[in-house]
């Protein structure tokens, strides 16, 4: 739709200049407050913005060059006013102002709306996009912030002046070294790596069998069975943890490796059931019948015909079960003892007692793992849909 719209240039002095001035005034307000006078900052910012917009539009028609010029001017001014951090801040402000000027001037701000929209609708549409941007920022910023902080050379949970000045001395790998060298963390990692796969294996094996059973056409009490199997996902973790703690200490499983594995397997089962039954919905039963017709026994049919087709579902269910166990704190906190201290448990105690930013290094590593898992699940989902012919791929 955007292509057929004739892009028309809005009036310079009554549209572009005032808007850029307003945005620049907004930035100026903050700089002004930081330096003692907000009003002065606002006024200076507005004037600078107006001049900038006028100059750029009138003398520099090329968008990229203009943005770079604006960026350079503000970066230099920032450097002179406030040193290195001023350079970075100035460059950002300069870039935003430059980009904003050309965005307004070229008429691209009307791209997403129909040509007959009123100015108010255009304004609303763009504010809406801006708000959505802020929400996405809210979603992702906390996770992004953790990453650079994990390279902090100091034992602080915040950016040091050195880090802001991009001083290489202020960055170090010492928290990663601590993670890989500290016996507590290593023991926790080992426990996590021992517990999660065992729990996953257990829930995937039993879960897949049961999901196949549940997908048969005639299952008595199907709803009730489903409700029982899904229940570990519904019941709040603290209640599961309390119940398991009471019951497992009665039968002597509390504080043992087996106890934790059983508990985690129970928590992972709903995910396996849900993903595998979802895959089986699209499964064509005539395939197994055909295999049986040609003389294959049920076991061969399962491994040669059914399994390869539902494998993506099984694997992504397994990944869900794995991450459930790998991330789980509450249940292991109660069912386990010091000998089963897992990575999340170690993080939990670390956070509660504020020991060291090693937690941030661990967090960064875990974010890396979750990106890996996310990609795998997404690829598997696409493959599964392609196999079932639900999407062209």
CB 101 within 8 A of CB 69: no
From the list 66-74, 103-111, 131-139, 168-176, the region that binds another protein by CB under 8 A is 131-139
Tell me how far apart the alpha carbons of residues 369 and 196 are, in angstroms, rounded to a whole number: 14
**Which is it for the CA torsion 212, 215, 216, 220, positive or negative?**
positive
191 versus 279: smaller Cβ distance to another protein: 279
Among 228, 290, 355, 379, binds another protein (CB under 8 A): 228
Q: Which residue has 């990692």 as its token pair? A: 189
CB 53 within 8 A of CB 16: yes
Query: What part of residues 176-195 is at the interface with another protein (CB under 8 A)?
Result: none
Which conformational region is residue 235 in: left (phi greater than 0), alpha (psi within -120 to 50 degrees), or beta? Answer: beta
Among 7, 131, 193, 307, binds another protein (CB under 8 A): 131
Query: What part of residues 16-35 is at the interface with another protein (CB under 8 A)?
Result: 30, 33-35
Among 7, 62, 81, 129, binds another protein (CB under 8 A): 129
73 versus 321: smaller Cβ distance to another protein: 321
- Is 212 among the residues that bind another protein (CB under 8 A)? yes
105 versus 264: smaller Cβ distance to another protein: 264
Query: What part of residues 325-344 is at the interface with another protein (CB under 8 A)?
Result: 326-327, 329-330, 334, 344
Separation in Å, CA 45 to CA 69, 137, 192, 256: 17, 26, 54, 65
Which pair of tokens denotes residue 252?
């002597």
Closest separation in Å from C-beta 49 to another protein: 19
- H-helix or E-strand containing 70? helix 63-105
CA nearest 202: which of 258, 253, 248?
258
Angle at the Cα of 157 from the Cα atoms of 28 and 84, rounded to 5 degrees: 40
- Is 156 among the residues that bind another protein (CB under 8 A)? yes
- Is 128 among the residues that bind another protein (CB under 8 A)? yes
Site string for another protein, 355-374 (x = CB under 8 A): ----xx--x--xx--xx-xx
From the list 2-10, 11-19, 55-63, 141-149, the region that binds another protein by CB under 8 A is 141-149
- Is 234 among the residues that bind another protein (CB under 8 A)? yes
Tell me how far apart the alpha carbons of residues 85 and 167 are, in angstroms, rounded to a whole number: 11
Site string for another protein, 256-295 (x = CB under 8 A): ------xx-xx--x-x--xx-xxxxx---xx--x------
Among 17, 24, 146, 321, binds another protein (CB under 8 A): 146
Q: Which residue has 């928590």 as its token pair? A: 267
Torsion, Cα 338 237 372 365, to 10 degrees, reads -40
Count the residues of the shown chain that bind another protein, applying the rule CB under 8 A: 106
């Amino acid at each position: 739709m955007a292509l057929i719209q004739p892009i028309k240039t809005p009036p310079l002095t009554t549209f572009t200049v005032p808007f850029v001035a307003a945005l620049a005034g907004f930035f100026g307000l903050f700089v002004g407050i930081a330096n003692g006078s907000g009003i002065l900052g606002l006024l200076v910012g507005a004037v600078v913005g107006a001049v900038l917009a006028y100059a750029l539009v009138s003398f520099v028609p090329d968008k990229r060059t203009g943005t770079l010029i604006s960026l350079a001017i503000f970066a230099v001014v920032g450097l002179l006013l406030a040193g290195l951090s001023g350079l970075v801040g100035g460059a950002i402000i300069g870039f935003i102002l430059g980009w904003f000027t050309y965005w307004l001037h070229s008429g691209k701000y009307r791209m997403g709306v129909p040509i007959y929209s009123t100015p108010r609708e255009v304004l609303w549409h763009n504010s809406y996009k801006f708000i959505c941007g802020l929400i996405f920022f809210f979603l992702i910023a906390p996770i992004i912030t953790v990453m650079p902080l994990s390279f902090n050379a100091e034992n602080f949970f915040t950016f040091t002046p050195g880090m802001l000045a991009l001083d290489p001395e202020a960055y170090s790998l010492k928290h990663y070294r601590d993670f890989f060298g500290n016996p507590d963390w290593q023991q926790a990692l080992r426990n996590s790596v021992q517990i999660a796969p065992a729990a996953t294996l257990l829930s995937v094996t039993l879960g897949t069998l049961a999901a196949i059973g549940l997908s048969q056409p005639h299952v008595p009490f199907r709803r009730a069975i489903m409700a029982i199997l899904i229940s570990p996902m519904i019941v709040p973790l603290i209640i599961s943890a309390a119940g398991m703690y009471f019951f497992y200490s009665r039968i002597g499983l509390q504080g043992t490796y087996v106890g934790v594995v059983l508990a985690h397997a129970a928590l992972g089962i709903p995910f396996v059931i849900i993903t595998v039954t979802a895959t089986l919905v699209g499964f064509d039963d005539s395939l197994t019948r055909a295999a049986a017709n040609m003389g294959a026994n049920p076991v061969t049919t399962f491994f040669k015909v059914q399994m390869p087709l539902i494998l993506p579902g099984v694997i992504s269910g397994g990944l869900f079960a794995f991450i459930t166990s790998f991330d789980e704190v509450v249940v292991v906190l109660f069912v386990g003892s010091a000998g089963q201290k897992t990575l999340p448990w170690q993080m939990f105690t670390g956070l509660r007692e504020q020991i060291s930013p090693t937690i941030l290094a661990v967090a960064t590593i875990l974010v890396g793992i979750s990106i890996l898992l996310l990609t795998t699940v997404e690829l598997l989902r696409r493959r599964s849909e392609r196999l079932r012919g639900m999407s062209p791929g």
